[in-house]
Amino acid sequence: MGDNKEKPAAEGGVPVRESKLYYAHQSIDQSDIDAVVRVLQGDYLTCGPAITSVEKKLCEVTGAKYAVVCANGTAALHMACMAADIGPGDEVITTPITFAASANCALYCGAKPVFADINERTYNLDPAEAEKKVNENTRAIVAVDYTGQSVELDRFLDLCRRRGLVLIEDGAHVIGTKYRGRPNGSIADMTTLSFHPVKTICGGEGGAVLTNSETYYQKLLLARAHGITRDVSLMEHTPDGPWYYEQIALAPNYRITDMQAALIESQLNRLDLFAARRKEIKRRYDEAFSRLPQLFVQEEIPESDTVRHLYVLRLVPERISIDRAQFFAALAAENIVCNVHYIPVYYFPYYQKHGYKKGLCPKAEKLYDEMLTIPFYYAMTDQDVDDVIRAVTRIAEYYAK
């Protein structure tokens, strides 16, 4: 093995970096801090003007007609399922290569998540695999824009129209991406966003549902706050005073604070900057890693003009003598801290106890065995990017077979 190759730190070489580099990190500047402080000095900490303002901004950025911000991306998914009237006996199709929330949202409504396999080159849910799982109980598809690449929206919309299904796009990774020139968020029946600090836009916590439908919009407002309305046209009884409101459905409290809303809006003002840098880092990674036969570079459909949220490396087992866990450890020895997105959702004990079995989605399972997420975020310096490329390259070449 590799006499003239650079020795990885795992084999006694000098680590590429002295300080640790993590897979994601938020970028907070003075304008973000000022925006939050202004809210704290004002009258409203919840249900205030920062909420309506960020919702207007989200509509501008995504082209959606309506936006409803909420506590987090998981709440957004639950709200979307409630707005779609999903309930016991219903089935909701999604991908196993996602965060658990994309499937849990069906369970919250008493419905059953059904997993369909991915496309092995783009890693997104495959519309043909999803269609195979449609039956008379299917009510919705939760399609996840994995790593920020748009799912094949035309094919999913066509499938949903033909079979009478609701298309919920889990866009936790997607903000900034365009599908056929239109921003994601303005195309599916409902699109959910997340503003967790690892995501492209940070609110500490936070989420949103975007839709063009007035009907869904009204239901989303109820789903955000107890099923309570102050809209007289929705009430059953005549108000007996200006204080009057009615609870007409059952829902949790999924509100977000005005401080978080202000932070999200402030971050959205820099979305173009974030997007440009992410595209630049992605281009440099792709260029470097496509030269290494030990690695497979995630492919993209031409319809998606992608702002990446995550960068995923995939090992080619025929060409490298170490496995994913060893590759992960070798990068850690270089002080490059990776992650894995995601463990197939149905591997979790909760799902296993409810009858889901390994082997369900073979392409997703194979991807899980071979992939890891490397550092990828706006604030990475060129030196950071160079370090990652050098570390990945020395490990891939040292263990080449």
Pick the binder of ligand PLP from 8, 73, 183, 375 (CB under 6 A).
73
Pick the binder of ligand PLP from 124, 194, 212, 260 (CB under 6 A).
194
Q: Given the complex with ligand PLP, which of 200 and 229 has the nearer CB atom?
A: 200
Tokens of 240: 């007996």
Question: Minimal CB distance to ligand PLP: which residue?
Answer: 73
Query: Taking CB under 6 A as the rule, does residue 98 contact ligand PLP?
Result: yes
Distance CA 23, CA 384 (A): 11
Smallest distance, Å, CB 199 to ligand PLP?
6
Smallest distance, Å, CB 213 to ligand PLP?
21
Query: Taking CB under 6 A as the rule, does residue 72 contact ligand PLP?
Result: yes
Smallest distance, Å, CB 4 to ligand PLP?
42
- Contact range with ligand PLP by CB under 6 A, out of 42-50, 60-68, 98-106, 318-326: 98-106
Distance CA 207, CA 103 (A): 17
User: Binding pattern to ligand PLP, positions 15-54, x when CB under 6 A?
Assistant: ----------------------------------------
- Contact range with ligand PLP by CB under 6 A, out of 97-105, 210-218, 231-239, 255-263: 97-105
Smallest distance, Å, CB 64 to ligand PLP?
18
> What's the sign of the alpha-carbon dihedral 378, 52, 57, 219?
positive
CB 146 within 8 A of CB 173: yes
Pick the binder of ligand PLP from 196, 308, 314, 324 (CB under 6 A).
196
Name the β-bridge partners of 210.
Answer: 67, 191
Distance CA 93, CA 167 (A): 10
Cα distances from 91 to residues 85, 133, 306, in angstroms, run 12, 10, 30
Tokens of 225: 């706050």
Count other C-beta atoms under 10 Å from residue 169's C-beta: 27
Residues 162-181 that bind ligand PLP (CB under 6 A): 170, 172-173
Q: Does the N-terminal peptide bond of residue 368 adopt cis geometry, omega within 30 degrees of 0?
A: no
- Please state whether beta strands 166-170 and 190-194 pair in parallel, antiparallel, or not at all (unpaired): parallel
Name the β-bridge partners of 67.
Answer: 210
Smallest distance, Å, CB 110 to ligand PLP?
20
Length of the chain (residues): 401
Distance CA 9, CA 15 (A): 5
HSE-CB at 30 with a 13 A cutoff on CA atoms is: 0
Q: Given the complex with ligand PLP, which of 160 and 345 has the nearer CB atom?
A: 345
Query: Taking CB under 6 A as the rule, does residue 113 contact ligand PLP?
Result: no
- Binding region for ligand PLP (CB under 6 A): 72-74, 98-99, 101-102, 144, 170, 172-173, 194, 196, 207
